[in-house]
Amino acid sequence: MIEKMQRDQARTDRTRTILIVVGSIIVGLAIIAYPAIRLIQDSRTKNQALTEFGVAVSAASCDTITDDAATGTLDHKPDGTPIDYSVSPPSSGSHYATWAPFDKKFYTLDDRPPVPNLVHNLEHGYTILWYKDSLPQDQKDQIEKISKAKLPDSSNGKFIAAPFRETDGKPWPAGKNIAFAHWSANTSGSDKAFGHRQFCGSVSGDALNQFMDKYPALDAQEPQGG
């Protein structure tokens, strides 16, 4: 009887050991495979047009574009200086002397720089897609894919997607979760410059593509840089 119990215990121990080893192998393979899968996905996304992500512009509930009188050209403030913007999200204005990194195109709440850093990018011809931080994760995932997709030639690659908190500025129109912003240069024969904003209810690469074509990167206060 004792020998049988010992054999049963030994068998149980072997089974447990095998399960632990197999489980460890599966976890290890998953850890190795995940970055590889992301690289493959990102490679595919890089060759996809913006229009393949989100809904069509006709289904995005986008408002008419708003033109804001632009201010703040070359008005650089020390980082950390409180700046209040007259429109939300800002499409121009005073901004910090430091811009957000030119090579980063997607931000979350965890790594987004202050708004005035991003306004400096607008001065250099960037289009910013602001999204409400309360947006469902599946739509945030679509925005991240947009940031990795093939941007229109008009953008010169100058694009950033970043979250917008309620505390960052005045409330947006009801039902709008996405906002595009661009800061244009003075128009020919005019002494006025404008910022441009467009609000949409849903993520739409189609709507973004049209906005970026309408306001290209070279139409900027300082098109050099970035």
pLDDT of residue 181: 98
Considering only residues 33 and 85, tell me which one the structure prediction assigns the higher pLDDT: 85
Per-residue pLDDT reduced to its tens digit, 174-197: 999 999 999 998 755 456 889 999
Pairing of strands 178-183, 127-132: antiparallel
Q: How far apart are CA 187 and CA 95, in angstroms?
A: 22
Pairing of strands 95-96, 66-69: unpaired
Tokens representing residue 36 in the block: 């590889």
Residue 85 has pLDDT above 90, yes or no: yes
Query: In the chain, where are the structural domains located?
Result: 1-47, 51-214
Provide the whole-model pTM: 0.79
Considering only residues 222 and 139, tell me which one the structure prediction assigns the higher pLDDT: 139
Task: Place 148 in a pLDDT band, splitting at 50, 70 and 90.
Answer: very high
Average pLDDT score over the chain: 86
Residue 4 has pLDDT above 90, yes or no: no
From 72, 49, 68, select the one nearest 181 (Cα to Cα).
Answer: 68
Task: Place 222 in a pLDDT band, splitting at 50, 70 and 90.
Answer: confident
Percentage of residues in the chain with pLDDT exceeding 90?
68
Q: How far apart are CA 199 and CA 178, in angstroms?
A: 6
Q: How far apart are CA 117 and CA 17, in angstroms?
A: 54
Q: How far apart are CA 121 and CA 125, in angstroms?
A: 7
